[in-house]
Structure 1
Amino acid sequence: MSIVGLRSSPRTAVAPLRVGPVSWRVPLRAASVSVVGAALLFVLFVLDLALGDVEIPFGTTLSTLFGGGDGGSQFIINQLRLPQTTVALLVGASLGLSGALCQTFARNPLASPDILGVTQGAGAGAVALIVLSGGSGYGGGLVSGTLQTLGLPLAAFAGGLGTALLLYALSWRRGIDGQRLVLVGIGIGAALMAVTDWLLVRARIQDAASAQVWLNGSLSSRGWDHAKPVMLTLAVLVPLSVLLVRHLNALQLGDDSARVLGVRLQTTQLLVLVTAVGLAAVSVSAVGPLGFVALVVPQVALRLTGGSRPPLLASMVLGGVLVVGADLVTRVVLPFVVPAGVVTAALGAPYLIWLLVRVNRKVP
């Protein structure tokens, strides 16, 4: 492995990275942001394991993660805290990547799974399964066993994909316009929220109460059964996203320019859409909807890296930082227990308002 040549400019320094016959152009600023973000994520990850009702020293937590520590610290960290923190990291990475793909696909900073209605579609699919299955326990009550491991991710994916296809069909007018896509997505999302509310009204009181907690985006009591589907989805869709990077760069130039450059537009758009939906849906099935993560994180990553589109790797890393940080806040900082989705919404809603005002000022 070697780094050959170096093209430098104030914002877009690039170093070609070569591994045998394969080479990549690595933006140095984006790589630096990813490295610093990964270091911050590691610190937050360890702190999330160390702090709580029983505090464990930072050094002891690190030792326990690598097989050391006494029996008490091993039980608290490995059995009680590590699964939940791992779910937070995986879900944050999934939502960050999903948001980056959506915003690149639509060429609109407002395009994210929760704004476009994809998250609401995934939530409606999962709630429908929860309610119609009779509620046998999820996250302390709703769905368990095979239904938890396979049923919820599949139901959420079906709901999210169906919503995305409907969104694509209603928004298509000889191409995809970002503003039309967002407006149609907001309408579809509102309709799906009404469907979810109707399902909750028809559900048993126990199932409705548990589902409502889940719909707020809760990381509480998450275990390895919730982490495995997200981990498997990332293992499949992250490499696919990497393969799509070259086409994503071409899509930024517009549909006509992308065709001229040899991009199979419909196939590429479908792959990007399915990848983004899959990542958002599996995250919803694991912890419920975490609002504004997929909206805010790619734009923060874009401003830090100074690129032309939201960077995929930096968005994944910063998504993990936000969700793990939200889990740490809800468990340690706040004097009362709230779902992590409340924290992410409190951070994301002001940003959405600022973004809408900023976009509106640009409109003549």
Structure 2
Amino acid sequence: MMSHYSKSFTLFLTLFLILATLFFGKHIVANGEDILLLIKGEATPYQSIVVWQWRASRLSAALILGAALGVSGAIFQSLVRNPLGSPDITGFNVGAFTGVLLSIALFGNLYWLSVFGAILGGLFSALLVYIFAYKGGHSGFRLIIVGIAISATLSAFNQWLTLSVSLETAMTAALWSAGTLNGMTWSRILPATALIVVFIICAFLLNTRMKLLEMGDDTAAALGISVNKTRLTLLFVGVALTAVATAITGPIAFIALAAPQIAKRLENSASISLGASALVGGLLLLTADFIAQHIWEGSTLPVGLITVSLGGIYLVYLIIREGK
């Protein structure tokens, strides 16, 4: 578990960002009295709509989807036993993006079809990586290299598909592909929350088996674990968490990569914790979205742009550290 200091600091920072996200911004500059009125439900209708309908739904989406990406990253990094083994690097989020693009191109921008397409696309890319990386077993390094190759191939296909569809569909896909929480509503986030909660519960139920797999396939099998079945089940859960988040916001990079490693260091532990990864993932996405809303006066940047900018720096650091 996290140390008392680390847990307190993380919770304090999360609470601070929640309050700042709800009550700070150009539409409302809330003083203490305004905040008290909002909490009591006695504020003006305009203030209530801005805070509880617009900002609270966006805030909830950042925390929930960030937690989903954090848990997904923890699963994949545990499976490949490598800090670079996240959906961002292995291409599963790109596969989910492909599924959504195909869904938009064939059926229009329909919510549940996009979610279903994202899950199928993520599973398809995972299956390709799993098949091509198999060589008498699954090496973590080989999975990452094959994942990068599959990701590059799917990225090229996504670009071709975007150029092949109608202009309206291409513009919809381009806006969505930036990875954004703009326009988030309760009607979009609540169904996704239900799916994410189910998959996170599944991940926690598989946590003990996942820890045994970290000890090696032979050891896990000797302890009575069905190695391939457990790995495939964890793969499905991890892909589903990434796919649902991708279907709602578009691809948001580097949360799944960074959250488990930051959580691991906060806990000062040799293994990756699903709970800590979920907490840190939610905090990272909330932080990135707050920066995206306020860094550029007069406009809101896609949160994916912020996570790519910060995550790229982290990825360089991680590669250098792993190289040593």
- TM-score, reference length from structure 1: 0.84
Separation in 2, partners of 1:39, 1:206: 44
Separation in 2, partners of 1:305, 1:290: 25
Asked if residue 356 in structure 1 is aligned to residue 324 in structure 2, the reply is no
Q: CA deviation at 1:260?
A: 1.4
Separation in 1, partners of 2:224, 2:165: 51
Q: CA deviation at 1:162?
A: 1.0
- Does the 8 A contact of 1:50 with 1:61 survive in 2? yes
1:90 maps to what in 2? 64
- Does the 8 A contact of 1:34 with 1:314 survive in 2? no
**Mean CA deviation greater in 221-230 or 34-43:** 34-43
- Counterpart pick for 1:338 among 265, 287, 301: 301
Alpha-carbon displacement from aligned partner over 1:233-285 (angstroms, at most 9, x marks no partner): 22211211111121122111111111112222112111110110010000000
Alignment root-mean-square deviation, CA: 1.8
- Does the 8 A contact of 1:94 with 1:234 survive in 2? yes
Q: CA deviation at 1:122?
A: 0.2
Separation in 2, partners of 1:63, 1:298: 38
1:6 maps to what in 2? none
1:76 maps to what in 2? 50
Alpha-carbon displacement from aligned partner over 1:26-63 (angstroms, at most 9, x marks no partner): x353x764454233222212211112222343654476
Asked if residue 48 in structure 1 is aligned to residue 27 in structure 2, the reply is no
Q: CA deviation at 1:229?
A: 3.2
**Mean CA deviation greater in 104-113 or 302-311:** 302-311
Which residue identity lines up with residue 132 of structure 1 in the other structure? L
1:297/1:328 Cα in 2 relative to 1: closer, same or farther (>3 Å)? Answer: same
Q: CA deviation at 1:329?
A: 1.0
1:203 maps to what in 2? 165
Unaligned segments of structure 2, at least 5 residues: none
Identity score, percent: 33
Number of residue pairs the alignment of both structures matches: 322
- Counterpart pick for 2:104 among 85, 107, 130: 130
- Does the 8 A contact of 2:180 with 2:304 survive in 1? yes
Which residue identity lines up with residue 223 of structure 2 in the other structure? L
Alpha-carbon displacement from aligned partner over 1:321-347 (angstroms, at most 9, x marks no partner): 111111111112322432100100111
Separation in 2, partners of 1:89, 1:130: 26
Which residue identity lines up with residue 171 of structure 2 in the other structure? A
- Equivalence map 1:1-364=2 (5 Å): 27=1, 29=3, 33-34=6-7, 36-57=9-30, 59=32, 60-61=34-35, 64-65=38-39, 67=41, 69-133=43-107, 135=108, 143=109, 147-148=110-111, 150-335=112-297, 336-361=299-324
**Mean CA deviation greater in 325-334 or 92-101:** 325-334
Alpha-carbon displacement from aligned partner over 1:52-90 (angstroms, at most 9, x marks no partner): 222343654476356454433212111222212211111
1:320/1:63 Cα in 2 relative to 1: closer, same or farther (>3 Å)? Answer: farther
Separation in 1, partners of 2:275, 2:225: 22
Separation in 2, partners of 1:58, 1:254: 56
**Mean CA deviation greater in 211-220 or 79-88:** 79-88
Q: CA deviation at 1:310?
A: 1.9
Q: CA deviation at 1:123?
A: 0.1
Separation in 2, partners of 1:57, 1:200: 43
Separation in 1, partners of 2:155, 2:303: 20
- TM-score, reference length from structure 2: 0.94
Matched position secondary structure for 1:302:
helix
Q: CA deviation at 1:358?
A: 1.8
Matched position secondary structure for 2:89:
helix
Which residue identity lines up with residue 266 of structure 1 in the other structure? N
